[in-house]
A = this chain, B = another copy of it.
């Protein structure tokens, strides 16, 4: 099969790889119909995280189950499934607590499973899925979604669930004022999640008109282009003299975390989901004196999948709009480049796509 490998900084290649097979009784093999590039894939791409050897990459995909091991009961061949970005058993204490990202038997896409067997990356034609019962979610009544539905289902693998996690962690709810730091796919999903959870006022931070427009479409009531102290003052002005009740940090850099903290009112809540990179810190003195609560982290999108899936299937939310580009899997290198250069918000990769 064809699959995407990262060889080093800015070195993405689509190569021939062995076809995956069911190796363990809990495995499934999924034929990928769509995958995508994550903002966090850009950390190794940019060299922020070192790549020590070539490895399969990608952790967001949807597709059709082709084969399952003897112990798999939750999905069957022919099912259209969503694979969350984190593999999880579904039965250990963290999984039962809804924190599948801390699964005690965790395996990693593009890495290996608990038994040391290799696991394919998501940006390829096929993937061996360990612990399929805990990991995969079958989409009821859907076998061959069109492109628009595919996009929305694919966001439930990571970005939409991650934006939702930020909103939940920041205690977004009716009557609350919200600031979203980050206008990438996760930030935009956070805007949509905040609207879905009933926030009264949603301020998106963006200085890119196309992203700001999508934020408005997703429910942002205001867009702030300023940064730093000016941005916080703008938020205070928009909210009638106070800072925000809930702030979603959706980037992961020192600057974005500082921005998020500046915008949070005393006693407010900060939900952070940007993968920490570039020295992001939580200053204990500020949190102490301002009583700012901090929650979030890696999102257990598996936990949120059922409720979000229901709203996607009903048409209540259309998070797939975060994909502003669709490319053949073979053009994965260009997809990374477009996202790195911020020419694309998020790129969907489709195996076998002709154009």
Contacts of A280 in B (CB 8 A): 284
* Nearest B residue (CB) for A286: B297
A292→B297 contact, CB < 8 A: yes
Q: C-beta contact mask, A167-202 vs B, less than 8 Å → 1, else 0?
A: 001000000000000000000000000000000000
Q: Check B276–A284 contact: CB distance below 8 A.
A: yes
Instruction: Classify chain A's interface size.
Output: 20 to 34
Q: Looking at the complex, which one of B98, B267, B285, B300 makes contact with A102 (CB distance below 8 Å)? A: B267
- Flag A284-298 by CB within 8 Å of B: 1 or 0 each: 110111111111111
Chain B nearest CB from A97 CB (Å) reads 5
Q: Which residues of B contact A242 (CB under 8 A)?
A: 93
Distance in angstroms between the alpha carbons of A120 and B98 in the assembled complex:
51
Tell me the complex Cα distance, A280–B283, Å: 10
| Chain A contacts with B in 238-283, Cβ cutoff 8 A | 241-242, 265-267, 272, 275-276, 280-282
> Bound complex: CA of A292 vs CA of B169, how far in Å?
10
A282 to chain B: which residues have CB within 8 Å? 282, 284, 287, 294
If over half of A's interface residues share one DSSP class (helix, strand or loop), that class is named, otherwise mixed; here it is mixed
A296 CA / B98 CA spacing, docked (Å): 23
* A291 CB contact (under 8 Å) in B101, B276, B290, B293: B101
Q: Which single residue of chain B is at the shortest CB-CB distance from A283?
A: B282
Q: Mark A104-143, 1 if CB is under 8 A from B, else 0.
A: 0000000000000000000000000000000000000000
A49 vs chain B, min Cβ distance (A): 13
Q: Does A312 contact B (CB under 8 A)?
A: no
A265 engages B93 (CB within 8 Å): yes
Q: Is the CB of A296 within 8 A of B300?
A: no
Is there contact, CB below 8 Å, between A98 and B267? yes
Determine if B275 and A288 form an interchain contact, defined as CB atoms under 8 angstroms apart: yes
CB distance from A224 to the nearest CB of B (A): 20
Kindly report which residue of chain B lies nearest to residue A299, judged by CB atoms.
Answer: B291
Say whether A294 contacts B291, CB under 8 Å. Answer: no
Chain B residue, CB-CB nearest to A294: B294
Q: How far is the CB of A247 from chain B (nearest CB, A)?
A: 14
Query: Of B241, B284, B293, B294, which is within 8 A of A93 by CB?
Result: B241
17 contacts between A and B (CB under 8 A): A93-B241, A94-B265, A97-B265, A97-B266, A97-B267, A99-B266, A99-B290, A101-B289, A101-B291, A102-B291, A276-B284, A276-B285, A282-B284, A282-B287, A282-B294, A288-B298, A293-B296
